[in-house]
Structure 1
């Protein structure tokens, strides 16, 4: 039986990603512990290239200060209905990759949840603009290749500051590159290409707007680079622990107000 080219390419990309992550060295992620009152678990980071990372961070911050953040602030002033539609569309367009990662993590209940959400929202929700599934009690969750690698107990590797993409670790950066390379919809449709472009632009702006409260708070710290690095490391550690549990983490109102340690 002939091999599907898309499947073959995905397999090669996944293998290449695994090799890159495994080659990241012995900077292992600490063993997961029981989450505290805010849902946080122990985290660690390894930043041997900090001077280089800080240089790239300065470039990224300038770009963010003068372009991305202002656009995101303008976006937050748009009608809530518009913002909700963009957010729902972006989340729905990403559900097939969430489904793939649910399967790779061996979480078949979550994969069924994701498949059901995608079918309902794509049809009844008008290409995902309306979160009909959420209204029916089928809650959304996130999953990506970086989380999958973490669920497989692959080391996080060193901190890498990527131009345009920001602070990450090698494991998550590899997962992000793999995610960009994988297209569950195929690449033979102009409609899919157009929707993909809309998704990319909408996802960048919506995601930056979502993170504005956090980054505005972190900018007040004496060392913004270190504060953001710690916040990202904590968030990703929590995210991997969530993937291992197979259920989304929850946070208390106290944490959201900053009365306890949070993301």
Structure 2
């Protein structure tokens, strides 16, 4: 997708967001949600999926990450991380606009233009060196900032913890254009490589690992919606743990 394609991207995205936002905001769709309590009517299924993900991490992801970190020089890891991060900038631009945060939308637009050109298709990150710090936003955050409740907690195979609102946001992003969503997923994979220990540590000393992971995710998303600090570095997309 070229830069010239993004007006079309937003023409598709904005009406879809408005329509789905109304659906997700309806009480019948979001389900009952008590203040301060996580809605989890799918807990039994979520626990099965969470267990599957834990086994997958142990059997596949962690060994792959170990090999990746061993064979990939740090400069190349930075290049891969920069490219994935740059692909996700259009999500931040659109989501910031939907929240009325035009300052962050402007910063993200500048970052995307600079890194896509001077940074050679996002392989470099001269925008950060120029003082344009990244603050990621997504449609789930945009929905939340506009009053849409998180809805039931969901654990997705491979992708891990989510909720109805955030999953709907990712689906809409994929419908509007798969490239920014691919950037977000790729970025998540890269971040896992540097947050592996932090993610595996969540709930390690807890009586119930599933509950610990669920609450860490939901609390971090709540803080992100308010542009606050994340509770746990494992689910903080902007502060990789090294």
Q: Same fold, TM exceeding 0.5?
A: yes
Q: Does the 8 Å CA contact 1:102/1:143 hold for their aligned counterparts?
A: yes
Q: 1:182 aligns with which of 176, 180, 185?
A: 176
Larger Rg over CA atoms: 1
| Mapping for residues 22-33 of structure 1, pairs under 5 Å | 22=26, 23-27=29-33, 30=35
Q: Deviations over 1:134-158 (max 9, x none)?
A: 0011101100001001100111111
Deviation at 1:11, TM superposition (A): 4.5
| Mapping for residues 229-240 of structure 1, pairs under 5 Å | 229-240=214-225
| Mapping for residues 36-185 of structure 1, pairs under 5 Å | 44-77=37-70, 78-183=72-177
Deviation at 1:6, TM superposition (A): 5.6
Deviation at 1:60, TM superposition (A): 1.9
TM score, norm. by length of structure 1: 0.74
Q: Does the 8 Å CA contact 1:149/1:171 hold for their aligned counterparts?
A: yes
Q: Deviations over 1:98-135 (max 9, x none)?
A: 10111111011111101111111111111111110100
Hey, what's the Cα distance between the residues in 2 that align with 1:155 and 1:8?
25
For residue 50 of structure 2, give the secondary structure of its aligned residue in structure 1: helix
Q: What is the count of residue pairs matched by the alignment?
A: 222
Q: Does the 8 Å CA contact 2:21/2:148 hold for their aligned counterparts?
A: no
Deviation at 1:57, TM superposition (A): 1.4
Deviation at 1:72, TM superposition (A): 2.3
Deviation at 1:44, TM superposition (A): 3.9
Q: Does the 8 Å CA contact 1:68/1:208 hold for their aligned counterparts?
A: no
Hey, what's the Cα distance between the residues in 2 that align with 1:18 and 1:66?
41
Q: Does the 8 Å CA contact 2:88/2:184 hold for their aligned counterparts?
A: no
Unmatched 5+ residue regions in structure 2? 1-6, 234-242
Aligned to 1:190: none
Aligned to 2:13: 10
Greater shift, 130-139 or 223-232, is seen at 223-232
Aligned to 1:223: 208
Aligned to 1:209: 193
For residue 92 of structure 1, give the secondary structure of its aligned residue in structure 2: helix
Hey, what's the Cα distance between the residues in 1 that align with 2:187 and 2:130?
24
TM score, norm. by length of structure 2: 0.80
The 1:176–1:69 alpha-carbon spacing in structure 2 relative to 1, beyond 3 Å, is farther
